[in-house]
């Protein structure tokens, strides 16, 4: 299930960035997305460090993970990956914009 959610977020991010580039709003959308990713990561990290409803049990809870544990695991894993995709997309846009 986590893999499906991660793939869906990745596809959604790429689709939003492509649409933003076509409409000339890439920088605004990219900075907004980076801010959202930072907030999600900070919230997941806070839940992990404060042990909010056993959020730090996402490592060894399978197959009976709670929604908080799943959200914490995805919140710590996805934002760095999605930020790397965002940075790579921004680099490609920057290099191809002049052509």
Within a domain: 38: yes
Within a domain: 97: no
Within a domain: 42: yes
Within a domain: 62: yes
pLDDT of residue 38: 97
State the Cα–Cα distance between residues 18 and 46, nearest whole angstrom: 32
Residue 11: domain span: 2-83
Within a domain: 16: yes
Residue 16 pLDDT > 80 = yes
State the Cα–Cα distance between residues 51 and 19, nearest whole angstrom: 39
Within a domain: 18: yes
| Structural element, H or E, at residue 40 | helix 26-50
Q: How many domains does the chain have?
A: 1
Q: What is the pTM of this model?
A: 0.86
Within a domain: 89: no
Residue 2 pLDDT > 80 = no
- pLDDT tens, position by position, 65-84: 999 999 999 999 999 999 99
Within a domain: 96: no
């Amino acid at each position: 299930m986590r893999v499906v959610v991660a793939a869906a977020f990745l596809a959604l991010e790429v689709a939003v960035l492509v649409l933003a580039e076509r409409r000339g709003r890439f920088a605004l959308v990219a900075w907004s997305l980076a801010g959202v990713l930072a907030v999600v990561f900070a919230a997941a990290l806070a839940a992990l460090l404060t042990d909010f409803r056993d959020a730090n049990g996402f490592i060894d809870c399978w197959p009976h993970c709670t929604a908080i544990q799943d959200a914490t695991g995805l919140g710590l894993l996805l934002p760095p990956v999605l930020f790397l995709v965002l940075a790579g997309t921004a680099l490609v846009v920057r290099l191809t914009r002049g052509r």
